[in-house]
Structure 1
């Protein structure tokens, strides 16, 4: 009987290992193949924006999207268009953080069967060494970097939550406020105004660069102490 249970577990392992990459590929397809009419979703949302329950609903939907590796950018747009930059940034930060933590534990749970193989590989040692708060913050702040890859990767590698959570909060907090402000300004400006501008990207790139410089400095100090 025990042998049958073991065989069933072994048979179930390949399916579990396919779920995470499958969700990531599905999320990329939804985003880049434009399978959802985001403008229609935005227009529907306008009719409910005045209700008290709508911001919590947007936050929960954003959490669900990031948990399943779906693009959360639509909720960033909805928040930026329908709300002032402050409340919109709060929605983005809470939704992004909640979704990241949920995705972290979701991927960690599904990758349980691979843990021993991952932790014994040389690649794991390298990624874990560069999965600290400074490095995660830098990656979070990079414009266009897929958050789902960070969330699932951190869960699979079981990176410490003490680094993952603060870095996620900083990334979504800073990005959320800058994006919400930019969207708010664009939607109230002339039709020729552009959302992606150097004024928007520069702070994110500078902050990411500073975190990377700090990371290199810390690594250099550690090497000098070990000599």
Structure 2
């Protein structure tokens, strides 16, 4: 094969690869903004219907929800009622981490222009928190009240936040919120002393983390 044929072949493969990437990204974006989460009772029955593999299905559903504007509250509550505080927190946290990472890379592949059009009113807030963000700024964005998961995921990817800082901050900052929601679902299903202690402790940790993150953000803004 001569160089011209190799070049043509390479160009063809590159074009096909690019078109496939655009198609996948478009499909994921459409799914992200058009999928509706079932009601808690329906979601619970759906997961139980898969028997021993239900926890895998739950993680997959949570990951898909985490890349959409739908809050991750409902699957976290269902995890607590189905699996208890410990296993439920592990499954819910795993799904959130996977979904957050997927959203991050989805935005990196899509680019800033389209991503920030999708973010809408959240775009300005995300830029304020995440422009040149490191680990602490990412933690602050995760913990700030009123700022959902999905715009943080997309914004971090679009703005080129370091992947390791993104993953580490998401890991650390998501723990209190996930445990508090799962514990609430577990306590609603079983009002045991253990579930009550975890519930109160987790929500206290959420409040403290939120206060610390707000103080950090306010001090950083004053320094600038």
Q: Which TM-score band (shorter chain)? A: 0.5 to 0.7
Choose 90-99 or 168-177, whichever is displaced more.
168-177
Paired position in structure 2 for 1:38: 40
Which among 146, 149, 155 is matched to residue 147 of structure 1? Answer: 149
Q: How far off is 1:153 after superposition?
A: 1.0
Q: For residues 67-124 of structure 1, give each alpha carbon's deviation from its aligned partner in whole angstroms, at most 9, with x where no partner exists.
A: 3444433321221111121111111211111111111111111127769xxxxxxx79
Q: CA RMSD in A?
A: 4.4
Paired position in structure 2 for 1:179: 181
Q: For residues 117-166 of structure 1, give each alpha carbon's deviation from its aligned partner in whole angstroms, at most 9, with x where no partner exists.
A: xxxxxx79855446332232123234563211111111111111122111
SS of structure 2 residue aligned to 1:214: helix
> Aligned equivalents of 2:28 and 2:50: distance in 1?
33
Choose 133-142 or 84-93, whichever is displaced more.
133-142
Q: For residues 186-210 of structure 1, give each alpha carbon's deviation from its aligned partner in whole angstroms, at most 9, with x where no partner exists.
A: 22249xxxxxx98764431321221
SS of structure 2 residue aligned to 1:88: helix
CA contact (8 A) 2:140 2:217 kept: no
Consecutive unaligned residues of structure 2, counting only runs of 5 or more, are 1-22, 116-123, 193-198
Consecutive unaligned residues of structure 1, counting only runs of 5 or more, are 1-14, 116-122, 191-196
Question: How many pairs are equivalent?
Answer: 199
| Larger helix share, 1 or 2 | 2
Output the TM-score relative to the length of structure 1: 0.65
Q: How far off is 1:219 after superposition?
A: 6.8
Choose 199-208 or 96-105, whichever is displaced more.
199-208
> Aligned equivalents of 2:74 and 2:40: distance in 1?
7
Output the TM-score relative to the length of structure 2: 0.66
Counterpart mapping for 1:1-227 below 5 A: 26=34, 30=36, 36-48=38-50, 51=52, 53-111=53-111, 126-129=128-131, 131-142=133-144, 145-189=147-191, 201-217=203-219
CA contact (8 A) 2:111 2:158 kept: yes
Call closer, same or farther: CA 1:112–1:200 in 2, change over 3 Å.
closer
